Each structure stands twice: as structure tokens, then as C-alpha cells.
Structure 1
Amino acid sequence: MTLPVLLVEDTASMSMLYETLLTRAGFGVDAVATAEGARIRFAEGHHPIVVLDMMLPDGDGLEILRDIHAASPTTRVIVVTGNTSVDRAVAAMQAGAMDFLVKPFEADRLLSAVTTAQAALEAGATPPLAAEAPQSGALTGFIGASKEMKDVFERLTLIGRSTASVFITGESGTGKEVAAQAIHDVSPRASGPFVPLNCGAIPSDLLESEVFGHLKGSFTGAVSDKVGAAMAADGGTLFLDEICEMDLSLQTKLLRFLQTSTVQPVGAVRPRKVDVRIVCATNRDPAAEVRAGRFREDLYYRLYVVPVHMPPLRMRGDDANLIATEMLHRFAAEEGKSFTRLSPDVRTLFRTHPWPGNVRQLLNVMRNVVVLHEGGEVTFDMLPLEIRQTLPGRVTAQVDAAPAASVTTDPVEALVGQSLADVERKFVEATITACDGSIPRAAAMLGVSPSTIYRKREAWGSSPE
């Protein structure tokens, strides 16, 4: 048995389309076109589900939402908004909306949202309340108490309730995959699969098979059927990392997948329907990639529904020390060491260091200290040289005291005394930086495959971001 729905939409053609779709699905629909009409009709019926356009000719949809929740806290409200008012949709989620849809959207998205609302009502689930920012560590995988991260925690929690696509941006090492996992964990899809796929780590000629799968014999080397990431994520979340590294020809197929919610494995005759939420990420500026012609504009607007920006560690105040202390305890326990704290000068350095590698770099520093040293307190001299050199006064004194004969301008001689592994790592990271963070371009410059660089970086920073 379906529940009655109050539809508030001022565009006649859109209202007719939504009403027809919901009616065919068995829902009883009351349609109104104004804020005043919404208040009157809701007061008469107290509908359990409301589809509410945020922009009405005679009132603010956000005010209607607040009035509805004041009168009936159990009512599930799905807000509808345009591309230019995503922040208002997030404000609606803060006010207790269950989900939001960004125009233009597929008819299936509306039906899915209304069906989910009915299922939640029938299951007796607690309705969403006005959200409060989670405290440090409230989202799995995150450590931080800065205002910047509290804003991120709040945004991730709010959009987790929605089914909208999410586009995460941020520098390398800021925790984009951790954010994607957190969105999945707080969403109604949490019991479903979370399938991450790094688009930059897979050769372009194999990426289509990795995303959509293939049938046995569909190409040379296809010795068995393969379930692609999109189908593996059915009922859950598909995380496409480094989305801007995807070849343009595959972007076209991804757009078709997003429009139809169907997957056609390589070699298959018929497409297959899947129910997947898309979360993607990049360390580039996606709008700049669109302007440069490297990323399809229509795909950008399809994916860039809810943007989330992960702040760099240097902008997070004392979070570096919170993370360092937490990971110090964790690594010390793993290695059987007795470290418990950071010295004052180390805390000062961590707070002011630029951290070009962000959280990933900090975790590597802490792992290095724990593995190579003993003690209860992490002191300045235990830190890797490249970190110590950034504290004014300390390293300058050491350089001044060094014999003049030791000064050299030969870049190769300057590397003497460092391990081959350290030299390799610094060179690879410097090449990536010179290529504006593009792994494929850095790989081409170094004469290796992108997957080789990804494997090396994973080994260098094997802990989560």
C-alpha cells in the first residue's frame, strides 16, 4: 500500500510530469503550485511524504519545510532545487529534509527518493532531525577538531542521507577516499557494498572492463566473465577516484550509465539495470579540466551535484598534532614501542609546517619516527631531515656550524647519505608536483606505467589518509 504524497511544484509541466510518474507507481498525489497552497493542503491532510520545490512564486521553500516539521515531525520531505542553489538544499537537509534532488534529474531519481521515504516510514525509522556538526572522530577514519573539519563533518553527514551524486575535491593526501567511505557509512546504503576504483591507476584500454565488466571471450585475454565495479556496487556506492584521469571516450559511456542506470558489460548484448550512488574525487580543478577540453561538460554537471572540498592539512590549525598524537599511539602499539607524546618544539613545527603531502605525509613521518627510534617523547632530532629543515633557527645553526668544505652545489652530491629508497621517493613526488599532480603525466615523464607509481605511493603511505 502506497502513502499519499503532497507535491509542491510551481512549473506546470514539471508538476504534471512528477504527478504522472508517482500516480503510475501507485501513489496518491495532491499537487499545488504555491507556498500558500502547500500550507493549506498540508494542514488538511498532514501528508506523510512531501516533494517540495525550494523556489516558489509566493514564498520560501525552506520556510515551508520548517512549518511542515513543526506541525508533523515524522513527515519525510524531499526538496527539489536547481543547480545554482545547492547550498540551499544543504540548508534544507540541516532543517530536517530527508533527501534533495537537483534539477534536471531522471524520473527514476524522484521515484527512488519517494519509495525510500515510504520504506523508512513503514520501518518506523527515526526521522532526520536538524543536524549538528559531529565531534572529532565522529565519522569513521577522520581525526580533527578544527572549524574547517567540523564543517566537512557536518556536510558529509547531511549529504550521506541523500542519494545525490557527490564530487570531492582536494589536494593529494587530504583524505578524499576516507570522505567517500564516510558518506557511504552514514547513508541508507551503508549495508550495501562500497566499491572504490582508481581511474588513474588502470590503463585506459582496460578501464572500461574494470568499470562495466566483460563477458568471456569478448576480447583477447577475457578468459572468464568479469563483474565490473558498477555492477559490484549495486545497492551501494561506487567511488571513482581520480575521475579527471578518465579517457574522454569512456566518459561518454559513464555519462550514459548515469543517465540510464544500466550497465552493458563488454561483449554483452543487453544492458543490466543497477542501483548505484556515485561519489567521485579528483585532486585537480574539475572546472578547469572542462575548460581545457579534458573533461566533458555534460558529465561534469551530472556528477557535480554536491561538491565537497577537503581542506589541506596546513589550513587545519592544530589538527596536525591531534592526528600525529593519535597515530603515534597506534603505531607505537603496533611496533611495541613506548612513545606517548610529542615534544613542545615538535608540536610547534607540526602546527606551522606546510605539509605538501598533507595527512599522508604526516602519517609517513610518524611511522618513520616510531620505527627508527626509541623513547617516550618524540623529539625534534628524531624527525626526518626534510621536516627539521623547516623550523627556523634550528637547522640554520647546524648549517653554520658545518665545515665550509662540506658545502656543495652538485645536486647529486647533495643526495649522498640518504637511502636509495628516500631518493627515489623524493624524485617521484617532485615529478608528480611538476606535473600538477597528474599521475599519468608523471608516469610518462618517468618512463613507467601509472599503476607503478600508485603502487609505490601506496607502499610509502600504507596507512589510511
Structure 2
Amino acid sequence: MKPKVLLIEDSTSLAILYKQYIKDEPYDLFHVETGREAIAFIERNVPQLVILDLKLPDMDGEDILDWINEQQIPTSVIVATAHGSVNVAVSLVQKGAKDFLEKPINADRLKTSINLHLQQVKLEHLVEDIETKFDRNRFHGFIGSSLPMQGVYKIIDSVAPTTASVFIVGESGTGKEVCAEAIHKESKRSDKPFVAINCGAIPKDLMESEIFGHVKGAFTGATTDRKGAASQAHGGTLFLDELCEMDLEMQKKLLRFLQTGTFTPLGGSREVKVDVRIICATNRAPLVEVEEGRFREDLYYRVHVVPVDMPPLRERGNDIVTLANHFLKLYAKEDGKQFRAINRDAETLLKRYRWPGNVRQLQNIIRNIVVLNDDTKLTVDHLPEQVRQSTAAKNNRTAPPPTPHSVEALPAEPITDEIESTYTPSQVADNPPTHIRPMWQIEREAIQQAIDYCDGNVLNAAVLLELSPSTVYRKKQAWEAEDEQQYTD
């Protein structure tokens, strides 16, 4: 099936001319004259590309772009503008348009721009097919389709049907309990209980009773027998969150339970046997806890059969905006508020913030905004000071690159200047360098600079660098893994 390109242009003569320009190209061009016709067409059959005139009889082109952004329509937009409106077109590029064409548009410029953006759409679909074959935006309570989360989903798919113990590691607020519940729901035990215990929230004197239960008279206040979490989870899953917070004596009793499947309730004399699957989690580095003597090594190897690393929110790219929109619409509906979308500038700030509290922090911030305001769009002014200040501090440390107008228009100078300044023949002849940097450093800086230049868009960066997107993804993930290893070492 040929790609579809929608031309929104009120001049019939210009539309006929543009159709003549591209009559031999391998895509179909459809033409509408008004904004209402454009919206109706897009709702029926989403085109891969939209060429948008700024001045329409019934509305401004900017209104169409805003509608596409609000509805999260998966299409690219090229703005067509008269000479005097270039500044307006640039502002629309900052709002999400991919490119702008200055009228009068010549045939070569039109064909080149359309082909470039259709190739980019095709490239995005190819990457999705190869690297996220099982791509899901929602998965058992998770929301997000970033590559790190796709990896988590695949591990859950693989481990859930087995009986293996799972150890989930991640910062607070990354969704460790959601991960444990997802494993339970995908497992053969899904119709049995899922019982969660937070080992960091229970006093150590009560921990044994919470997990294994007690008999009447075991301690002051034990007026009746009580089943613990292990008995309650019989046939299902027992989730021990923040396991590294458990004291060493209780770790010893837990290890015996994991080895034998039996325990003795506190104050009791008869062993109880249960069938439970154990899933553990921690926000600490477990091996560091072992080395420091706070976590038993034998228990570590007992529970650390299949590790799952939950990515922090700052590494999940566009998932940040996806989650923010989900929480915004959810709370707006619950509280009867008007919020429907997030302003593009606010989205940029959300993606640049470091999110030390991860998804939980994002959720609380959006909840606070909805409670205290009642607008249709979430804007920069709604965001708390720490989100805006953090981005401002980052911008002061490193000046941001100019906003790109399109992949085609993006210059490669930021990547090549440094290489040329280090290795140009004239410099070597006239002023030999005192320090030669390894090529892997140059490569890493070039790729990272391209990704920063493209505001985190790896696909655009790969096009700039003339590399395969899968190569850039792979190198980026390898470097992040090395950095994490150095940090933990």
C-alpha cells in the first residue's frame, strides 16, 4: 500500500501544481481546502505526512497542528508558509512540526522534503518491528513502550510461567511491586493470592509474626492465632519488598523457609508447610549489602535467580510524557476538571527533569496540578519550581543547541567540528597536537552530542550520523551499562 500524504491548501491552482510536481512519486497525495475537511480526513484515515498551509478559510494552520498534538495523531507535519511568515513557521517547528517549506515551493524542494520524511516514518516502523517486536504501551499495570520497558516486559513473559525466584532491583518509585504483580498475573498462580510485605515498614520485632504468623499467647497482645503472609499466600505469590531492610536474624529464618517450604509460627510447636512463589525487591545494591555484611550471601544466591532491573523514569524517554498524559486525564476525570492535554513546552521540561522519585513523583506532581487548577492544557506555569529550576540549571551549564527545523535541515557541524579541530592535516603540520584522544571517546561524544542536538530522538540522531538506529541504540545501552557498573563498583 502506498504511503498517504495530505495537502491542506486553500488554493486549488497551487494544489494542482503540487500534484503535477509529484505525479511520478511512489505515494498518494490527497487534497483538502479547509481545516474542517482536514480534521475529518485525518480522523477517517491517518496519513503518514501532512503538508499544512498556515492560512485557511475557516481556521489557522496552527490550530490544526495543535489538534494533531492534542489527539496524539501519529503523523508528521510540514508547514507551508509565505516569505513573511517564516518566524511563525519556526515557532510551529518548536511546537512539533517536522519542517517548513517557504512559498513558492519548487518541485525539487517539495519532492525532497516529502521523500525524506516518509523515509523517516518507514525507518521508525522498521526499528519498531526489529527492536520492539513485542512492543506494548500497556502491560499489566505498566504504561510505556520505551526500549528499557520492552526489556522488562520480555523478562516477565519469560519468567512468569516458571517457578524460579525473581529479584527486582530499582530505585524507589520505579514500579517494583507493579512488576511483581505482573509476574503473578502472567503465571499459573494467577488465580491464587498475591500477598505483599514491605520489610522496611515493619518493626523487626513484628517481622516474624507478619510473615509466619503466631499462636495465641506467643507475646503480649496475641489474644488469638493469626496467619502470617506465608500462609495467606499459599498456592500463590509472596512478594517481599525492600528485602535488604530485613535484619540478619530474620534473614536466617527466611532462608530456612525458602529451602524447606516449612516454618513454625511464632510461639508454636508444629511446622506448617506451604506452597508459595517468592519474589523479592530492593532499592539498594544487593551485592554491596552483602559485602558490607548487612545481607546474607547465601540468602542472596537463593533469591537472586532471575534478576529484573527496573529502569529509572529519566531513562524512559517519551514514556515520561505518556505517563503524564495518562495521570492528567485520569485525575481530571476523577475530579471533574477540564484538563485534556499537555503543552509542548511543558512536555519538554518534563522530559528533561531527572525525576529522583521516578513514576511516583510524577504521579504526585500531576495529581497536585489537577487538584489546584482547572484549565484545558497543562502548561509550564503549572509545573512546580523544582522542575523548572532543574532545567534552567542544566541549560546554564551547557547551552542548548538550536532547535532543529527538520532532519534534512539539521547540520552535522556540532559532531564534526571537534574531530576536525583535533585531526585536520593543517593542524598536524603547523601545530602538532599535544594529546591524541582515543577514537572510542570521539565516537561516544559525537553520538551523544547528536542525541542531545535532536532532543533525545535517537532516530533523528542516527539519520544525522548516517548510522543504523539499532547501532546507536546498542552503543548507547552499552555505555549506560558500563557507567552503571562503574558506579556500583
Please state which band the TM-score falls in when normalised by the shorter chain: 0.5 to 0.7
Give the whole-Å Cα distance in 2 for the aligned partners of 1:290 and 1:133: 36
**What is the 5 A alignment of 1:39-50?**
none
Taking the aligned partners of 2:234 and 2:134, their CA distance within structure 1 comes to 30
Q: Which residue pairs with 1:169 in the alignment?
A: 169
**1:94-109 alignment, distance < 5 Å:** none
Q: How does 1:15-54 map to 2 (within 5 A)?
A: none
Matches within 5 A, 1:10-89: none
Whole-Å Cα distance in 2 between the matches of residues 204 and 192 of structure 1?
28
Aligned to 1:299: 299
Q: What is the correspondence of 1:206-221 to structure 2 with a 5 Å cutoff?
A: 206-221=206-221
Provide, for residues 105-125 of structure 1, a one-character-per-residue CA deviation record: whole Å limited to 9, x for no partner. Answer: xxxxxxxxxxxxxxxxxxxxx
How much does 1:388 deviate? 1.9
1:389, 1:395 within 8 Å by CA — same for their partners in 2?
A: no
Aligned residue runs from structure 1 range 153-232, under 5 A: 153-232=153-232
Query: How far off is 1:133 after superposition?
Result: 2.9
Shift of 1:387: 1.6
Q: Is the 8 A contact 1:314 1:354 kept in 2?
A: yes
Q: Is the 8 A contact 1:189 1:235 kept in 2?
A: yes
| CA shift digits 1:77-109 (9 cap, x unpaired) | xxxxxxxxxxxxxxxxxxxxxxxxxxxxxxxxx
Distance 2:348 2:310 in 1: 23
Question: Secondary structure at the residue paired with 1:167?
Answer: strand
Cα separation, partners in 2 of 1:394 and 1:261, compared to 1, 3 Å: closer
- Other structure's SS at 1:197 match: strand
Deviation at 1:391, TM superposition (A): 2.8
CA distance, structure 2, for counterparts of residue 393 and residue 161 of structure 1: 47
Structure-2 residue corresponding to 1:401: none
TM-aligned CA distance change 1:373 to 1:394, over 3 Å: farther
Which residue is 1:269 aligned to? 269
Q: CA deviation at 1:268?
A: 1.4
SS where residue 392 of structure 1 aligns? Answer: helix
Structure 2 equivalent of residue 133 of structure 1: 134
CA contact (8 A) 2:346 2:378 kept: yes
The answer for unaligned runs of 5 or more in structure 1 is 1-130, 397-465
Q: What is the distance in 2 between the residues matched to 1:179 and 1:289?
A: 22
User: Unaligned stretches of 5+ in structure 2?
Assistant: 1-131, 397-489
Inter-CA distance 190–150: structure 2 relative to 1 (3 Å threshold)? same
- Cα distance between partner residues in 1 of 2:393 and 2:197: 45
Q: Is the 8 A contact 1:173 1:359 kept in 2?
A: yes
In 2, the alpha carbon distance for the partners of 1:307 and 1:264 equals 29
Equivalent position of 1:109 in the other structure: none
Distance between the aligned counterparts of 1:194 and 1:220, measured in 2?
A: 29
Does the residue aligned with 2:390 lie in a helix, a strand or coil? coil
Alignment identity in percent? Answer: 56
Residue matched to 2:51 = none
CA displacement, residues 192-246 of structure 1 (integer Å, 9 cap, x when unaligned): 0000000010100000000100000011111111100011100000000010000
Amino acid at match of 2:227: V
Q: How far apart, in 2, do the equivalents of 1:387 and 1:355 lie?
A: 9
1:319 maps to what in 2? 319
Partner of 2:284 in structure 1? 284
4+ long deviations beyond 6 Å:
393-396
Contact 1:134–1:154 (8 Å) recurs in 2: no
1:140 Cα shift? 1.5
How far does residue 374 in structure 1 lie from its aligned partner after superposition?
1.2
Whole-angstrom distance in 1 between the partners of 2:393 and 2:255: 55
Q: Give me the whole-angstrom Cα distance separating, in 1, the residues matched to 2:316 and 2:394.
A: 24
Q: What is the TM-score when the length of structure 2 is the normalising length?
A: 0.53
Which whole-Å CA distance do the structure 2 matches of 1:150 and 1:241 have between them? 23
Match of residue 143 from structure 1:
143
Partner Cα distance (1:343, 1:392) in 2:
18
- The alpha-carbon distance between structure 1 residues 339 and 246, as it changes in their structure 2 partners (threshold 3 A), is same
Show CA shifts across 1:121-144 (max 9, x none): xxxxxxxxxx9635110x221001
What amino acid maps onto 1:276 in structure 2?
V
State the one-letter code of the partner of 1:363.
Answer: Q
- Report the alpha carbon displacement of residue 270 of structure 1 after superposing the two structures with TM: 1.5
The residue identity in structure 2 corresponding to 1:246 is M
CA distance in 2, matches of 1:161, 1:249: 32
Q: Answer whether contact 2:135 2:145 (CA < 8 A) is retained.
A: no
Report the Cα distance in structure 1 between the residues aligned to 2:220 and 2:251, rounded to whole angstroms.
Answer: 23
The equivalent residue for 1:104 is: none
Distance, in Å, in 2 between the alignment partners of 1:319 and 1:360 is 14
Kept in 1, the 8 Å contact 2:237–2:277? The answer is yes
Per-residue Cα deviation, 1:39-90 (whole angstroms, up to 9, x for no partner): xxxxxxxxxxxxxxxxxxxxxxxxxxxxxxxxxxxxxxxxxxxxxxxxxxxx
Pair 1:236–1:134, CA change in 2 (3 A):
farther
Contact 1:168 1:310 (8 Å CA) reproduced: yes
| Aligned-residue offset at 1:393 | 8.4
Contact map agreement 1:141 1:178 (CA 8 A) in 2 = yes
Q: Give the counterpart letter for 1:368 in structure 2.
A: N
1:115 match: none
Aligned pairs for 1:269-418 (under 5 A) are: 269-392=269-392
CA distance in 1: counterparts of 2:177 and 2:257, whole angstroms: 22
**Letter of the structure 2 residue corresponding to residue 227 of structure 1:** K
Q: CA deviation at 1:292?
A: 0.4
In structure 2, C-alpha distance between the alignment counterparts of 1:133 and 1:353, rounded to whole Å:
29
Deviations 1:140-172 (A, max 9, x none): 210011000011111111111111100000001
Partner of 2:242: 242
Determine the C-alpha separation between the residues in 2 that align with 1:292 and 1:277: 28
Q: What CA distance in whole angstroms lies between the structure 1 residues aligned with 2:393 and 2:182?
A: 41
**Normalising by the residue count of structure 1, what TM-score does the alignment of the two structures yield?**
0.56
- Determine the structure 2 residue equivalent to 1:422: none
- 1:357 is displaced (CA, Å) by 0.4
Which amino acid letter does the alignment assign opposite residue 334 of structure 1?
E
Provide the alpha-carbon RMSD of the alignment.
1.6
| Displacement of 1:263 | 2.1
CA contact (8 A) 1:195 1:239 kept: yes
- Distance in 2, matches of 1:252 and 1:390, equals 44
Contact 2:168 2:176 in 1 (8 A): yes
2-side partners of 1:275 and 1:172: how far apart? 29
Deviation digits for residues 264-323 of structure 1 (CA, Å, limit 9, x no counterpart)? 101111111100000010000001100000000000000000000000000111110000
Residue 133 of structure 1 contacts residue 151 of structure 1 at CA under 8 Å; is this kept in 2? Answer: no
Opposite residue 348 of structure 1, the aligned amino acid is T
Once residues 240 and 192 of structure 1 are traced to their aligned partners in structure 2, the CA distance between those partners, rounded to angstroms, is 17
How far apart, CA to CA, are the structure 1 residues paired with 2:133 and 2:284? 30
